[in-house]
Structure 1
Amino acid sequence: MDETPGSITILIDALPHADASLKLKILPLLGAAGKDRVLWPLFHLVTTSAGDEAVCRLAAVQLGLAASLSEDPEELNTALIENLNHPETTVRGACALALGWEGNHRAVPALMDHLQDPDIDVQAAVIAALSSVGDPHVFDFFTKRLKSGSIEERRSILLNLWRFGEKFFRVESIYLNCLDDLSPELVPDILSALTMIPYSPTVLSIYRRMLTKKDPVIRRQVLENLEALDPTEYEPLQEILHGLLDDNDPRVRQSVIRLLRENQSTLR
């Protein structure tokens, strides 16, 4: 559907009557197209859809996008901040997520106040929102919390630190150091987060080292990361990959076979 005022009106009017499946199809069409016109219909959906987490979350993402394009989102900002205290955890998390548009510094103090929300998923949404705002003070705060926060808080920070794109080299260095300094159970999360930053010689060296770890979960995660790359980018790992053809873990062996087959196809 096109993005004319009439088509947006049709979509907005259809939302209250649509079932969850149709809402999930309509929502992605609204965030970038409707701007101010969709703010309050989306806000209403965010705050009344606690029973359907998928709809609530997608509405929050689209609301944040629309707010970032709005000429005056302050009234919405206030309403979202107030609903960080909503009794429904799904709504609290969705409102936190919606506040995370780039440059929304006004929301930072309120989001910081809710880092200790009793619900883990809400905490994760707050961390994602704070990371998306891009405040340098938040970045410094998060790097400190990696040393003292709970395991779940540290996991959420690691999975979102890449959002501070302007601090790429620091983020890369932090991930590298955390592989050795933090709890081993966080290593797969760090490896997963590495896929969100530019591939580099440092990342390659991390993959090389992690492929030798005894934990098959770690090896599997590295191999999953490699599958997202162009085969020429993991060409330096060929010797290690061939050695993993005899790995004790069948899922590791299967991943290696796929990677080597893809590499051979590329070289033809």
Structure 2
Amino acid sequence: MAATIAFVSTSTPYDDDRHEYSRAALARLVLAHRARGLSETAGSLTVTRYDAYNGAGSRVSEATSLITLSERILISAVIYERERGSSWEDIGRYLDVTGPAAEERFAVAVEEWRTAFDVPYRLDETGRKRVPQLPTAAYDPRRVSRDLDLWAQVHLLLSDKHAVSGGLDPTGDEEPQPEPVWDEIDGRVQLHHLGTFLALLAGYTHHEPVDEGWDAVTKAVEAGGDEHAYAMAGVFESLDIRMTLDRDSALVFVLVANARSADLRLRINTLMDAFDRP
């Protein structure tokens, strides 16, 4: 029987964005992303209202998951420290072990992280499905940075709009980089889902559509050859929405601007993520 050769793609849809960041910046972003996950998981343990509906031992299971997440965060922290130039002795000092002991424990994880940049996907056992080798935050750093900036504002009550992205050096240069601007949120929506998307967005702003409602907007986008603009005037905030239809894929490219509050931007971003799929 002839041997089957598995070809693994060395490119991803987000290569251009990822290449704008140094590996140290990407490692720091992965650490931040996983820390957020731990925070949210730990937060669920503070709620007692529904304890009676949980099975025996379930809270122990949740607590155990925090240990697993903490171990992943520790590995991410070590990878970041290695990428920023920290020695194994520096790392071992905070773990109360020697440098060689720290290297023995974490060297494989660091090597896997670095190898994944050369081969970002591997094929599964069927040879058909591509399995990502990099953490999510390293694949799509722009979107994850935006998510974490909004999360920090809403949940940590920070006034800094770029609390996460502002400390990342996208290029690895010594010169300070301008702060990214997330005032515009973009995404893609299937044409047949556009009305539902706009209705949910209007609910966030307490906006009432004019004329024939969202069906009319969808038809206008479908009929128009260029960008279609819609002003969504709400009770507390007003949004400027621009929509462009790609007829080959039936995808509508949507850009939402002027969302001022962090809570609204987080809602819009979550909505974009939910609709940005077939």
TM-score, shorter chain, exceeding 0.5: no
Greater per-residue strand proportion: 2
Greater per-residue helix proportion: 1
TM-score, scaled to structure 1? 0.28
